[in-house]
Every structure is written in structure tokens, then in C-alpha cells.
């Protein structure tokens, strides 16, 4: 695949979408999400779409929608304009001098991959090297007001066919909700995610979770605290999974060396795009570490990119690629992502493999930015 591409116009659309069900994590509650859609247009007139799925607040990662807007509009889009390229790796190299800001980079990188796949007449998954034609999806459930509310949510998702359920945990909402869900579903693939809220003082409490046969305990400690993750992993059977800790392939190498994880959550946004996400997958696979694809409540564009990435061979655990309808009444792509009995089909059409609903995007746009001939 060596079609030469040149981006002649680049646009950002800040789009606000209402959530079907308010979501509570250890740090915040949300009724709608603003994500930035990235649209790159090639000299041929073809477009590639990507999604900057940053939270509005700097609680999951240091970035916000505002900081992403600044970095994408002032640094990333100007860097990719009018530059010939044949593979997305070459564009990733162009913006490598921008430190961090992985969510902003991820949206631009994904748009470049979609453009590249389309120009070479292959599905995005094929361009990435994926072989799987379907992906098993898991769902993630927030902190509910009561354990009964949580059980109702679990009932709904299990009835919908999702084979894996992840529970957000936080101090005061950990051992007891897990015990209740495990009692109701003895064989369910169940895992917990703490988003880094515990400290070394909580080691004993986290060890109590070992008796519930969880598939993994995800990111119990702060992102940079790899040593305590390694300490916990030495004392429990349950695999420790890292999410926030791994922003670069170098972070992964360090964590592997420290034996701080047995499972890796790869998020396209957190790693800075499909290019580094693919590399992290390859490293983890070489180290015998199973991976799965985490989500940031993406709209359809980012969601489909996650599905395509999850088609790579090392994604052996269910990914956060549940159906659009779990989050959004109507999605920005057509058709929306659907899960049948917890399984999502990898799109077989070229490029993104779904049509982008421009009318819906326009109706929900709260800000726009454009670079290209008509702006000069």
C-alpha cells in the first residue's frame, strides 16, 4: 500500500452529545459529553475522520477538551497540512516533537489511518493488520446510588448478552458491591476498575478482592505508582491490569520489567493514536501479556476505531466496544455500532466502514475550526 496522500484541508468539530444514562466514576458525574471530531481532507477530496475523546475535566488524564482544541488547532493540524505521506507512521513522526497531549494526537492519528485505509481500498482493521471479523464486547458500569441499583444494571447488561461486566470501584464502594454481584452471578466474567484512587495503605483491602475470582483489578493505584502495583501483584492471584499508568510504549516496558501487570488495557486515546496502540499491542503480545481495548465513551467514530484495533490477534479479552445505544440515543455514524449477544462485527467496508452523519454532527456542533485553502 503506497498511495501518496496529501492533506489539503483539516477541520475540528466540537460536538456535544447527551448521554442515555448518567455516568459516575470515582471523580465525576456526566449527563452529556463534548468530543472533538477531526476531519482530514486529501487532495482527491476523500476525507478521514477521527475522534478526540478527551474528558472535559483533567481527572482521567491531564488533558481537557479545551487543551486538546488548543493543541490540535495550533500544532497538530498545521503540522500535517500540505505534506506528502504514504503511511500514518510518517505523520505520527511529524508531531512527535509535541510532548504528551495523547488524546489530541489520537484523534488526528485515527483520522489519518481512516484516510489511509480508504485511499488503499481496505477496511481500517485490515490496514492495522487485524484478522478477527468480530469482537467480544464488555460493558463498564459506574458507581450507582445503591447496591440494588447496581444489580439492576448488571441484570440489564447480562440479559443483553454482554459476557463481561466491569465495575468501577472507589473507597466505600468496593468489597460489598463486588460480593453482591458475585453472589448473584457466580460465573460472570467480572472485573473492577479503581481509576487509581487507592494508595499503598489500602493493600489489605484490595487483597480481600482476591477471593471473588475477578478477571482483573484494574489500575488500583496512581498512574506513576508502578512499585505499589508490582507489590500488590506479588501478593494476589488476580491479575493486575494497568490503564492510566501506560501512556507510552516505554511506560509499558518499565511496567513489564517491574512485573507490575499481568493484563494491559490499551486505549487509543491514552496512547496517542492507533500507531502507538498497535506498537503497545505488539510489545505486550511478545511478553505474553493479554490485552483488551478500553474506551472513553467514544462517539461512533472513535468506537469503530476501537473495534478495528480490537481485531488484532493479541486482543484476547473482551473490549470496551459496547453498542452505541448504551451511551447515545443516536450516534454520529450510520449504522450505529451494534452488539448482538455481546459481539460486535468488525466493519468490512473500506476506511471507517460506516457513513458519517454530517447532519447530526452539524446539529450538535458547539465550535468549529478549519485550516485549508478557503481559510487562507
Q: Which residues bind Mg ion (CB under 5 A)?
A: 193, 243
Q: Which is nearer to Mg ion, 42 or 218 (CB)?
A: 218
- Residue 272's closest CA among 149, 6, 66, 94? 94
C-alpha cell at 49: 475522520
C-alpha cell at 143: 458507581
- Catalytic residue at 267? yes
C-alpha cell at 147: 447496591
Q: Which is nearer to Mg ion, 39 or 193 (CB)?
A: 193
- Per DSSP, the residues of 279-311 read HHHHHHHHTT--EEE------HHHHHHHHHHTT
- Residue 119's closest CA among 80, 85, 95? 85
Do 185 and 153 meet the contact criterion of CB atoms below 8 Å apart?
Answer: no
Cα–Cα distance list, 187 to 39, 80, 322, 336 (Å) = 44, 49, 20, 30
Q: How far is the CB of 191 from Mg ion (least distance, A)?
A: 10
Other beta carbons less than 10 A from residue 359's beta carbon = 7
C-alpha cell at 243: 490503564
Q: How far is the CB of 179 from Mg ion (least distance, A)?
A: 21
Q: How far is the CB of 118 from Mg ion (least distance, A)?
A: 31
Cα–Cα distance list, 52 to 35, 36, 163, 288 (Å) = 6, 5, 28, 30
Q: Which is nearer to Mg ion, 241 or 333 (CB)?
A: 241
- Catalytic residue at 168? yes
Q: Which is nearer to Mg ion, 193 or 331 (CB)?
A: 193
Q: Which is nearer to Mg ion, 243 or 298 (CB)?
A: 243
Query: Which of 6, 30, 105, 267 is the catalytic position?
Result: 267
Q: How far is the CB of 243 from Mg ion (least distance, A)?
A: 4
Q: How far is the CB of 244 from Mg ion (least distance, A)?
A: 7
> Which of the residues are catalytic?
168, 267
Amino acid at each position: 500500500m503506497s498511495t501518496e496522500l496529501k492533506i489539503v484541508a483539516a477541520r475540528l468539530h466540537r460536538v456535544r452529545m447527551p448521554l442515555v444514562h448518567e455516568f459516575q466514576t470515582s471523580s465525576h458525574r456526566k449527563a452529556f459529553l463534548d468530543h472533538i471530531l477531526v476531519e482530514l481532507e486529501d487532495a482527491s477530496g476523500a476525507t478521514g475522520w477521527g475522534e478526540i475523546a478527551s474528558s472535559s475535566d483533567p481527572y482521567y488524564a491531564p488533558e481537557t477538551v479545551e487543551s486538546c482544541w488548543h493543541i490540535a488547532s495550533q500544532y497538530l493540524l498545521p503540522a500535517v497540512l500540505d505534506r506528502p505521506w504514504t503511511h500514518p507512521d510518517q505523520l505520527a513522526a511529524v508531531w512527535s516533537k509535541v510532548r504528551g497531549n495523547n488524546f489530541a494526537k489520537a484523534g488526528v492519528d485515527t483520522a489519518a489511518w481512516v484516510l489511509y485505509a480508504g485511499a488503499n481500498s481496505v477496511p481500517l482493521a485490515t490496514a492495522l493488520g487485524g484478522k478477527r471479523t468480530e469482537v467480544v464486547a464488555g460493558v463498564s458500569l459506574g458507581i450507582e446510588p445503591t447496591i440494588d441499583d447496581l444489580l439492576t444494571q448488571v441484570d440489564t447488561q447480562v440479559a443483553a448478552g454482554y459476557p463481561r461486566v466491569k465495575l468501577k470501584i472507589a473507597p466505600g464502594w468496593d468489597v460489598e458491591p463486588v460480593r453482591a454481584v458475585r453472589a448473584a452471578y457466580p460465573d460472570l466474567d467480572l472485573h473492577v476498575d479503581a481509576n487509581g484512587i487507592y494508595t499503598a495503605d489500602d493493600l489489605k483491602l484490595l487483597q480481600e478482592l482476591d477471593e471473588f475470582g475477578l478477571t482483573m483489578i484494574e489500575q488500583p493505584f496512581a498512574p506513576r505508582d508502578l512499585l505499589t502495583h508490582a507489590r500488590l501483584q506479588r501478593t494476589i492471584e488476580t491479575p493486575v491490569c494497568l490503564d492510566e499508568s501506560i501512556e507510552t510504549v516505554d511506560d509499558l516496558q518499565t511496567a513489564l520489567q517491574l512485573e507490575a501487570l499481568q493484563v494491559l488495557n490499551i486505549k487509543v486515546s491514552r496512547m496517542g493514536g492507533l500507531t502507538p496502540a498497535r506498537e503497545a499491542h505488539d510489545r505486550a503480545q511478545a511478553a505474553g501479556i493479554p490485552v483488551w481495548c478500553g474506551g472513553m465513551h467514544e462517539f461512533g467514530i472513535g468506537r469503530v476505531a476501537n473495534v478495528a484495533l480490537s481485531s488484532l490477534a493479541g486482543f484476547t479479552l473482551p473490549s470496551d466496544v459496547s453498542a452505541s445505544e448504551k451511551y447515545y440515543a443516536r450516534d454520529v455514524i450510520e449504522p450505529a455500532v451494534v452488539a448482538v449477544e455481546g459481539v460486535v462485527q468488525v466493519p468490512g467496508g473500506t476506511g471507517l466502514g460506516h457513513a458519517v452523519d454530517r447532519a447530526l454532527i452539524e446539529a450538535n456542533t458547539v465550535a468549529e475550526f478549519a485550516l485549508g485553502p478557503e481559510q487562507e
